[in-house]
Amino acid sequence: MRNKIIETAKKYDADIVGFANASRFSKDDAIFKIFPETKTVIGLGFRVLRGIYRGVEEGTTYYQYTTMGVENLEETVMPLALINVSNLIEEEGFEALPQRKNPLIINEENATNPEVDYTDVYSGIKAENQIDFLNCAVQCGLGEKSMIGSLLTKEYGPFIRYCFILTDAEIEGTKMLEPSLCDKCGECIKACVGHAISEEGLDTWQCAVYYK
């Protein structure tokens, strides 16, 4: 079934596929709150086209990244891959819980937009009951964590978005990557034309404002 999952995921535009056994996660991890029977976490990575960033670099079309590099991937491409891989798993007699980022669940107030009324955003949903997407990506072997808290992959660098499936099927895990891509040199701080990166990390609101 492992090979079938990889084949199906790539058929629906996933560029990287990784697997993490449940033993890689702590017992109080959100994956077990969502699905206590989780045996495997499946990670799907989708590259963001290098050319999508050119408009930002050239100072011409800023919106192409947010529309094609974020919205199109997150709202169209990735859900299609998630549902088709999940269908395959359930046809094999197991359960599959697709997990994608929800813009209405934010880890802390003012994490993205200080103009938003977070009493509306939270709507009683606890952020701690959403999986840690970056940690899952690292555990699935999709890439490594950079100094600013983003995912870096060997194949596409930081140009990647990702989602996951929790399942009770036991599937052989992918080897986790040995950190080698980020040496904390700070060149990303100098290179960020939006001045959204500092030694403290990434200012997500500054980043979002600049791209839009």
3-state helix, strand, coil in the chain (%, to 5): 40, 15, 45
Q: Could you read off the pLDDT of 145-197 as tens digits, one per residue?
A: 998 888 999 999 999 999 999 999 999 999 999 889 988 888 888 888 888 89
- In sequence order, which residues have a C-beta less than 8 Å from that of residue 148 and are 6 or more positions away? 188, 197, 201, 202
- pLDDT value at 35 more than 80: yes
Instruction: Compute the distance between CA of residue 14 and CA of residue 43 in angstroms, rounded to an integer.
Output: 10
Dump pLDDT digits (tens) for 69-96: 888 999 999 999 999 999 999 999 999 9
E strands, 31-188, are 40-47, 96-99, 144-145, 151-152, 160-167
Distant-in-sequence, close-in-space partners of 162: CB < 8 Å, separation ≥ 6: 16, 43, 44, 45, 46, 133, 136, 137, 142, 151
Q: Which two tokens stand for residue 187?
A: 């060149």
